[in-house]
Structure 1
Amino acid sequence: MLILDDLLIRPFVSLLDILHTMALDRTYDTSAIRDELKENQLLYEIGERPEAEYRRRKQELERKLSMAEEIQEQMRDRIQVKR
C-alpha cells in the first residue's frame, strides 16, 4: 500500500503544491504592485488623476503590497522548511 501511495498520490500532491505556489506568486507579485504605485504617482503628477483618486488608489496599493510581501515571506519560509 505504501509503495502504491508513493507512486500514485505523492506526484499528484506535489503537482498541486507547485501549481498553488505559482498561483500565489503571480497573484502577489510585489514588483507588479510597485509598478502600479509608480504609475499612480505619474498619472497624478501629470494631472490625469485627481488627488482624491490618487490617494485612495495609493492606500489600496500600499495595503496590497504589504499583504503581498507578507505572503511572499511565508512562501519563502515554507520552501525553506520543506528542504
Structure 2
Amino acid sequence: MIGAILLIIITVFIPPIGVYLVAGCGADLLINICLTMLGYFPGHIHAFYVEYVYYHRKDEARLGHFASQPAPGVYSDNVQTGGHGYGTMVTH
C-alpha cells in the first residue's frame, strides 16, 4: 500500500518514472516520454492508466483470476500480468 502511494506521488511529478517502475524500459516508457513531452497531462493519463492496469491485474492474480485478454495500449508483460512473471498468462 505504501509502495502504491509513493508510486502515485512520483507519477504526479514525473510520469515517465512511474511508468518505468511498473513497466520497465520498453514501449510503454517510450510512449509515456513522448506523451509527456507533448504535454504534461497526456503523460499523466497514460502513466496512471498503466499503473491502474498493473495494480488491477495484480489484485486479480492474488484472487486467482487471470485476464485472458491483454489490456489495450499496454505493451509490458510485467504490467499485463500484474507483476506475476513474464510470458504467457494462465487462463481459466
TM-score, scaled to structure 2: 0.34
Greater Rg by CA: 1
**Which gives a bigger RCO, structure 1 or 2 (Cα 8 Å, sep 6+)?**
1
- Higher percent of residues as helix: 1
